[in-house]
Amino acid sequence: MDSVPQMSRAAVLNEFGEASRLHVTEVLTPVLKREDEMLVRIHATSINPLEWKMRQGMGLPPLVWRRLLGQPMILGFDFSGTVARVGRDIQGFQVGDEVMGAMPLHGTYAQYVLVRPSDGRTAVVRKPKGISHEQAALVPFAGLVAYSGLVKYGRLQTPSPQARILVVGASGGVGHLAVQMARRGLGAACVVGVCSSRNADFVRGCGAHEVISYDRTPPEAIVSSHPDWAGRFDLIFDTIGVEAYWTEVAPKLLAPNGQFVTAALPPSRPGRPGEDVSPLGVPPLLLKLVRRHRSGRYHLIPGLLGGLPSHSGLPVIARWMEEGKVSAHPAAAFDLEQIAEAHQASEGGRTVGKLSVRVA
């Protein structure tokens, strides 16, 4: 095992704003501050849309984001790498172990990160055999969102051979993993994916029994196009935040005990992410969420607030990966020095699968 250098590389966010605000520079390598921490040498990370929303300062005042992210501000949830150092209280991991996981808020756009396995919001497991670091780093955060949407909030059992599931945004990072988990992990009877017509074959390849092309069949036309689907779905999982699937589709498609789960806040302005809300827009948004929650079937995944099954979910996902049931599609690969380009590619909103970032 190589010695740990005093200085290492990281992509640091100097100011909130455009992707050009990310700069790769030398930073002090983190050192163990607690006996229940371990230092991981990161070989690869990946891009999640929440990260560029954080980079833009969406959802919270800049001063709050600065306090949450610390100094230097290093974004990034996902990591796959090698354990470089361990505290005396670490159990189940040792120096040299290859691991993958997701941090609760930030830190993986770097060569080294401190990981505390006992933290309830931190997910870390041994990397599945036969899976590269670049492949493994694509999965943890998006995989946990997908798993929680199906199992924790969608209330599906493992397995769920009778389940009927509609996944919106089925070709995206979370969506294509959710389709695979639903079909190959849970063994659902019917998995329908919603995506553009150009990505329909890809989503079928992920395991969808049927595909709805949103550029040919708008949400309000789904039930009329498939009258036999009315009232028969156990779960609608909206991974991207499209209002019409709650307002138009859910009332017609969901079974009496069916659930609606979304991984994104409802938009407050047309064409903008739900996280892009002004201070004046927060009260109406909260009121809308409370009203929907009272229905008993609307669930928003609070990914940054400890709402992911980090300890129970990632081991299951890793097992599915090792069994060949779940794999992330690499849309494109970037080096750490190209992190700004990777963010710009994600912001374009047309990513099929996930974007990989090589660190080592």
Alpha helices in 234-281 (DSSP H): 243-244, 250-253
Q: Give the whole-angstrom CA distance, residue 305 versus residue 289.
A: 16
Considering all CA atoms of the chain, what is the largest pairwise distance in Å, rounded to the nearest integer? 64
Residues 34 and 76 in one domain: yes
Residue 318: inside a domain = no
Residue 322: inside a domain = no
Residues 299 and 348 in one domain: no
Structure tokens at 353: 């699968």
Residue 321: inside a domain = no
Residues 107 and 135 in one domain: yes
Query: Are the C-beta atoms of 238 and 246 separated by less than 8 Å?
Result: yes
Residue 198: inside a domain = yes
Residues 34 and 13 in one domain: yes
Output the CA torsion sign for 178, 184, 186, 192: positive
Q: Give the whole-angstrom CA distance, residue 183 versus residue 188.
A: 5
Residues 30 and 123 in one domain: yes
Residues 293 and 159 in one domain: yes
| Cα–Cα nearest to 43, from 8, 76, 79, 71 | 79
Omega cis (within 30) before 159:
yes
Residues 301 and 154 in one domain: yes
- Beta strand segments in 60-109, E: 78-86, 98-102
Domain hosting 68: range is: 7-139+327-358
Residues 342 and 249 in one domain: no
Query: Are the C-beta atoms of 179 and 248 separated by less than 8 Å?
Result: no
Residues 133 and 276 in one domain: no
Residue 276: inside a domain = yes
Residue 112: inside a domain = yes
Q: Following CA atoms 98, 102, 106, 112 in sequence, which dihedral angle do they give, to the nearest 10 degrees?
A: 0
Residue 313: inside a domain = no
Give strand pairing partners of 7: 28
pLDDT (0 to 100) of residue 1 = 47
pLDDT in 10s for each residue of the chain, 360 residues: 458 999 999 999 999 999 999 999 999 999 999 999 999 999 999 999 999 999 999 988 899 999 999 999 999 999 999 999 999 999 999 999 999 999 999 999 999 999 999 999 999 999 999 999 999 999 999 999 999 999 999 999 999 999 999 999 999 999 999 999 999 999 999 999 999 999 999 999 999 999 999 999 999 999 999 999 999 999 999 999 999 999 999 999 999 999 999 999 888 777 666 777 777 788 888 999 999 999 999 999 988 778 899 999 999 999 999 999 999 999 999 999 999 999 999 999 889 999 999 998
**221 CB contacts (<8 Å, ≥6 apart)?**
none
| Cα–Cα nearest to 235, from 162, 329, 130, 337 | 162
Structural domains in the chain (count): 2
**222 CB contacts (<8 Å, ≥6 apart)?**
212, 229, 249, 253
Burial of 291 (0-12, 13-18, 19+ CB in 10 A): exposed
At position 286, the amino acid (one-letter code) is L
- CATH number where 269 lies: 3.40.50.720
Residues 175 and 191 in one domain: yes
Structure tokens at 266: 């409802």
At position 133, the amino acid (one-letter code) is H
Give strand pairing partners of 20: none
- Please give the C-alpha separations between residue 70 and each of 63, 65, 74, 107, 312, in angstroms, as whole numbers: 10, 8, 8, 10, 28
Q: Give the whole-angstrom CA distance, residue 329 versus residue 142.
A: 12
Residues 147 and 132 in one domain: no
pLDDT (0 to 100) of residue 304 = 74
Residues 259 and 174 in one domain: yes
Give strand pairing partners of 79: 101
pLDDT (0 to 100) of residue 330 = 97
Enter the pTM of the model.
0.96
Q: Give the whole-angstrom CA distance, residue 256 versus residue 24.
A: 52
Give strand pairing partners of 332: 355
- CATH number where 132 lies: 3.90.180.10
pLDDT (0 to 100) of residue 2 = 59
pLDDT (0 to 100) of residue 273 = 64
